[in-house]
């Protein structure tokens, strides 16, 4: 069901400043900002040889990332995204064993233009899991 780690997401209070740290201090390639209103965030991706880091900034106070930053004002790791070949089959299998899929259980289109689902952190050792179909 699980493939490689697609990205590790870090919530940040100021996206431009966080991107500059990765680009200017660490020398990484950083994508242009992308707004994702359906998810309530603006993102950039830090490209690494073996995966990506997704930096997330809330679009507004209603964003789930805004709530995360209220609890963690400096930011922090928000979720880990794993690739899966068939997101609907993965969701069915997970729900059959009692794992909770967040939202209405229907995949949404993520930042890479592919279907994604999020799994409840209480079912995965306190870690929010994103699945992305590849």
From the candidates 54, 57, 130, 132, give the one annotated as an active-site residue.
Answer: 130
Q: Which CATH number goes with the domain that contains 125? A: 3.10.180.10
- What are the tens digits of pLDDT across the range 1-13? 899 999 999 999 9
Give pTM, 2 decimals: 0.94
Map tokens 């201090």 to a residue.
25
133 is annotated as an active-site residue: no
Confidence of residue 84 (pLDDT cuts 50, 70, 90): very high
pLDDT at 79: 98
Q: How many domains does the chain have?
A: 1
CA 51 to each of CA 4, 48, 89, 94, 117: distance values in angstroms, whole numbers, following the listed order: 9, 5, 24, 24, 19
pLDDT at 97: 96
What domain range includes position 96?
Answer: 5-133
pLDDT at 15: 98
3-state secondary structure of 130: strand
């Amino acid at each position: 069901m699980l493939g490689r780690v697609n990205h590790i997401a870090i919530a940040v209070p100021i996206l431009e400043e966080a991107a500059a740290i990765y680009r200017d201090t660490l020398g990484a390639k950083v994508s242009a900002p992308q707004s994702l209103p359906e998810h309530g965030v603006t993102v950039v991706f830090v490209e690494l040889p073996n995966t990506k880091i997704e930096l997330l900034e809330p679009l507004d106070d209603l964003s789930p990332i805004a709530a995360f930053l209220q609890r963690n004002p400096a930011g922090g790791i928000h979720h880990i995204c794993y690739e899966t070949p068939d997101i609907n089959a993965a969701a069915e299998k997970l729900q059959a064993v009692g794992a909770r899929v967040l939202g209405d259980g229907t995949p949404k289109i993520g930042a890479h233009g592919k279907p994604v689902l999020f799994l409840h952190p209480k079912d995965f050792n306190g870690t929010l899991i994103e699945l992305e179909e590849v």
